[in-house]
Each structure stands twice: as structure tokens, then as C-alpha cells.
């Protein structure tokens, strides 16, 4: 990560905290450089002392809104072009559709039962 060094000696290095837009870029670069999906824990550890959890979540939200990253199962974050990501996204969507179909089927069954009881 590239942060502006304000002061440095043998014992300490003082760096300037990134602005929100810089943090978004740093988070994106971190994920891209890993070349694989990264966990929330990895992100939190990498950015501890640089940005709090709220700012980190906000940066992830901005990146998701822009379509630069996607959130996968297990709280992992990746770029859409990483190997295996599109397949996992399709599986997530397939499962969501199956849950929705099941919910609709239950609603239809309840309506049929109510119609039977009231006729």
C-alpha cells in the first residue's frame, strides 16, 4: 500500500491516513494484487491502523456499487474477472431463484388451502 510518509526515523514511521477516495483505490488495489477473493478478516488486518472498520465497509460499498468488486459467500470480496468468480455468482443466483420459487410455491399452497376452506 502506498501511503504518504510524513515523518520517519529509526524507531517510527508516521504516515498520512488516506482520504475516502484514496482508501477506495487502496482497497481495490489490495484485492487485485491478491489475485484471489479476500476475506473481511484479511482486509481488516491489512488496513488496521490505516482505516477503521466503518471506513473500510464504506470503501467496499463504493466498489460494489461501481461494479468493481463483488461479494461472495463467506464474506469474501473479489473482482468479477477473477477465476471462478462468475461461476460462484451464477450458483448464488441459482440458489436465490430456487429459494424464491419455493417461497412462491408455499404461498400458492396457502391460497389453495384458503380457497378450499372458504368454498
The answer, yes or no, to whether residue 7 has pLDDT greater than 90, is no
Which has more confidence, 104 or 20? 104
Class of domain 1-80: mainly alpha
Confidence of residue 13 (pLDDT cuts 50, 70, 90): confident
Q: Where are the domains of the chain?
A: 1-80, 84-119
pLDDT at 3: 66
Q: Kindly list the distances between the CA atom of residue 62 and the CA atoms of 82, 105, 108, in Å, as whole numbers in the listed order.
A: 19, 36, 39
Does the pTM surpass 0.95? The reply is no
What is the Cα–Cα distance from 24 to 27, expressed in whole angstroms? 5
Nearest to 47 by CA among 67, 81, 77, 70: 77
Q: Taking the CA of residue 46 as centre, how many other CA atoms within 13 Å lie in the half-sphere pointing to its CB? A: 19
Amino acid at each position: 500500500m502506498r501511503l504518504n510518509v510524513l515523518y520517519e526515523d529509526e524507531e517510527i514511521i508516521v504516515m498520512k491516513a488516506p482520504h475516502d477516495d484514496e482508501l477506495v483505490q487502496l482497497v481495490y488495489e489490495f484485492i487485485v494484487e491478491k489475485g484471489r477473493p479476500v476475506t473481511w478478516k484479511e482486509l481488516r488486518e491489512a488496513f488496521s491502523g490505516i482505516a477503521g472498520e466503518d471506513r473500510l465497509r464504506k470503501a467496499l460499498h463504493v466498489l460494489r456499487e461501481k461494479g468493481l468488486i463483488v461479494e461472495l459467500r463467506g464474506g469474501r470480496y473479489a473482482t468479477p474477472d477473477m477465476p471462478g468468480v462468475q461461476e460462484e455468482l451464477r450458483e448464488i443466483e441459482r440458489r436465490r431463484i430456487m429459494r424464491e420459487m419455493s417461497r412462491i410455491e408455499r404461498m400458492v399452497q396457502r391460497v389453495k388451502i384458503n380457497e378450499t376452506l372458504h368454498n
